[in-house]
Structure 1
């Protein structure tokens, strides 16, 4: 019993001595680290707003701000450890050894980060673009170091690991997508009049306007009639809305101008013996 009390008393004396000798260093280190985190967040936010004001892409702005924040916190951590009298050299060596093992174990994750860095720096697409990659299409909502997030016209979020994007063929149409429509009219119709009326019908749609990239032309001639094809660029976020509206508008205009769509016809001959 006396030995246990002696050990407890020795531990208590050791703790009290440690707190007396190092309490100010510990409190100082904590205050330095907390203040560093707060300052790093403020500097990161300011830098992000500054990059945005200069017209930089939102993804690149986020990346720069986050890297500066991480470096600032790392620097403050080294200062805090130095305030405690702890040398950071052994930690650097340990981090190097751990990084080697982690690199081998997390090759897939690290390849995503490397690909994400490549996307952020080379910028084959930016937030708001419409891209098609690996058979998946959508509007780019966010780009992180590990993944790229797309949103399609049904508001479905599609998350793609960045390593499946870099090195692949990417179709980037900006914020627009192409709507194609086809209809066949009789060969004796006023072709130029139909083309002009079709273009006017599309340009009259609310939300498109006269500056809409739209083209109508004769795509094929056949025994059935003349096939008219329209190519209209519409906002990707409202792709199907405009696709249905375009078809309805064309149908109404053709009906209004008296243009008949060509229909298949068969001639049947009855032969009596």
Structure 2
């Protein structure tokens, strides 16, 4: 009877440890985010909060094992063995953790930066222990493993506050090139998002199927890519208004050429 009561007490204690540990881990994480939420390096804040929460959960597991009568030396040995086994089994996950630490220390980007990595472009929202959360232009949340971030080229458009863009446009071979250049230069000079003291250019990139024009300029990074989309719209409107033609297309209907 005494042994049953002892196990009931241990069960209640373990349950309390689990509940309290879960509450404390969440509280500590939210507290860290709240206390240093105004830090300029939000990535380090979210990384630290996640690491603190994980550490508390590990401590809870150790306390539960002690309640079950497991010797502390055995716990340390078992924990070391498990850590080694988990590390070997989850090498990619450990690489993500290492990648997260590398991102925090080298700071290739910060929370709020607009970056391009792999096939994704968007704003960095959070940097967690194993992954980084990005919000794309289409307001889609993309979760990228940290190891992928450190292994691939990252283009950070927010570093110097500007993005150099290239807008291609194929026009008819018979158009007046001077008129085209004057029209598109005027559009860029009047565009509020184009940085006026940076180089801008309208030049011929190739002479195939008419000729391919290239419009080059710089826009403010905090407005990209909407600034690029708006500029494209203004260029098209100016092209139509100036009667600058696109290449004519040959259409085959019922075996006849029109």
Shared fold per TM-score greater than 0.5: yes
In the alignment, does 2:150 pair up with 1:166? Answer: yes
Counterpart CA distance in 2 for 1:153 and 1:126 is 17
C-alpha deviation, 1:125, in angstroms: 1.6
**Greater mean alpha carbon deviation, residues 60-69 or residues 241-250:** 241-250
C-alpha deviation, 1:231, in angstroms: 1.2
Unaligned 5+ runs, structure 1 = 1-15, 265-273
C-alpha deviation, 1:45, in angstroms: 0.8
CA displacement 1:184-207 (0-9 Å, x = unmatched)? 88476697x75763234322xxxx
Counterpart selection for 2:46 from 39, 62, 65: 62
Compared CA separation, residues 104 and 125, structure 1 to 2 (3 A): same
In the alignment, does 2:93 pair up with 1:109? Answer: yes
Counterpart selection for 1:233 from 194, 219, 223: 219
Number of the residue aligned with 1:52: 37
Counterpart CA distance in 1 for 2:20 and 2:48 is 21
CA displacement 1:143-193 (0-9 Å, x = unmatched)? 4333344454445555543323314332111287544346788476697x7
In the alignment, does 2:19 pair up with 1:34? Answer: yes
Number of the residue aligned with 1:138: 121
Number of the residue aligned with 2:253: none
Counterpart CA distance in 1 for 2:206 and 2:64 is 81
C-alpha deviation, 1:142, in angstroms: 4.2
Counterpart CA distance in 1 for 2:206 and 2:50 is 61
Compared CA separation, residues 55 and 74, structure 1 to 2 (3 A): same
Compared CA separation, residues 102 and 49, structure 1 to 2 (3 A): same
Counterpart CA distance in 2 for 1:186 and 1:133 is 39
Counterpart selection for 1:202 from 169, 191, 194: 191
Number of the residue aligned with 2:59: 75
Compared CA separation, residues 190 and 88, structure 1 to 2 (3 A): closer
Counterpart CA distance in 2 for 1:222 and 1:39 is 64
Q: TM-score, normalised by structure 1?
A: 0.64
Compared CA separation, residues 165 and 246, structure 1 to 2 (3 A): same
Q: TM-score, normalised by structure 2?
A: 0.67
Pairing of 1:11-22 with structure 2 (within 5 A): 16-21=1-6
Number of the residue aligned with 2:200: 216
Say whether the 8 Å CA contact 2:21–2:60 is kept in structure 1.
yes
C-alpha deviation, 1:236, in angstroms: 3.7
Counterpart CA distance in 2 for 1:28 and 1:20 is 12
Larger-gyration structure (1/2): 1
Unaligned 5+ runs, structure 2 = 248-258
